[in-house]
Amino acid sequence: GPEILGATSATETASNESRTCFTAGLIKKLKEMNGSPITVASLASELHRDQRHLNLEYAPTHAARSNHPSTILQKMHTPVPDFYGGRRKGKSSAKDDTPRALVTVHLEEDFKEKDIERLKNWLLAELLETVREIEITLEGSFKSGSTLLLFAMPLEIWSCLENHPACGFVGFVQGNNQLLQSSGVRAPMSNLSIRGREDQNPKQSYGYR
C-alpha cells in the first residue's frame, strides 16, 4: 500500500479543534522548514519530537511503503537532493531528548560481544537505502530461552523497518537507560554507528527466531 502519515492511530480520535488539530501542526512544521527537502519518515519523527510545541494532542502515525524508500517532500522546480545516492546520515542521537523507539529482538543463539559485527550486519540488512548512517543503542540483553535484546533507535528508522516476528515494539523513550547512566555502567555495544551495504541478507548474517 501507499506510505501514510496520519493524525493518530486507529484506536484514537484526532482533535478537530483548529488550535490542536494535526493539519494545523503539519502546516506550522512545514512553514518552519521553509521548503527544505525531507522524507515523510523524517517529517513524522519531527512532528513526534515537537508534539508539545505544535499543540498536538496525539502523536502522528507513520506507515512506510514496503520495500520502498520514504517519499521526499520538497518545493516544486528545485533540484532533487541526493537522498538515495547512498545511505542518508540520520540526525537523531541517543544523547539528546528526541523521541526514540524501544524495540525487542529475539535471537536463536546466545549473544556475546564477539557477535557484535554479525549483529550489525543483520541490522543493516533490515534498513532501507534511505539510511546511510544511524545510531542504535543496545539498552539490555537477557536470556529468555533464546536471547532477548532491547534496542533504542530513531523513529524514522523504526517506522521503516519491515515487520518481522523476531522484533517487537515496546514504546517511545527519550535518551538512554537511566539506571545504567546513574550507575556509570555501560552495556556492551551501547553505541552503534552503523554503515554498510544494501545487499546483505539477515539470514546470512545472524540467526533469529
Residue 64 is assigned to a structural domain of this protein:
yes
Domain holding 168, by residue range, is 99-205
pLDDT 10s digits, 133-178: 567 788 888 887 778 888 888 877 777 777 778 888 888 887 777 7
Whether residues 189 and 112 share a domain: the answer is: yes
Whether residues 123 and 62 share a domain: the answer is: no
pTM of the model: 0.55
Number of domains in the chain: 2
pLDDT at 193: 46
Whether residues 105 and 198 share a domain: the answer is: yes
For 18-85, what is the HEC assignment?
CCCCHHHHHHHHHHHHCCCCEEHHHHHHHHHHCCCCCCCCCCCEEECCCCCCCCEECCCCCCCCCCCC
Residue 162 is assigned to a structural domain of this protein:
yes
pLDDT at 196: 37
pLDDT at 184: 58
**Which residue numbers in the chain have pLDDT < 50?**
83-95, 132, 188-191, 193-209
Residue 128 is assigned to a structural domain of this protein:
yes
Q: Which of 199, 173, 7 is nearest to 92 (CA)?
A: 173
Residue 79 is assigned to a structural domain of this protein:
no
Whether residues 108 and 193 share a domain: the answer is: yes
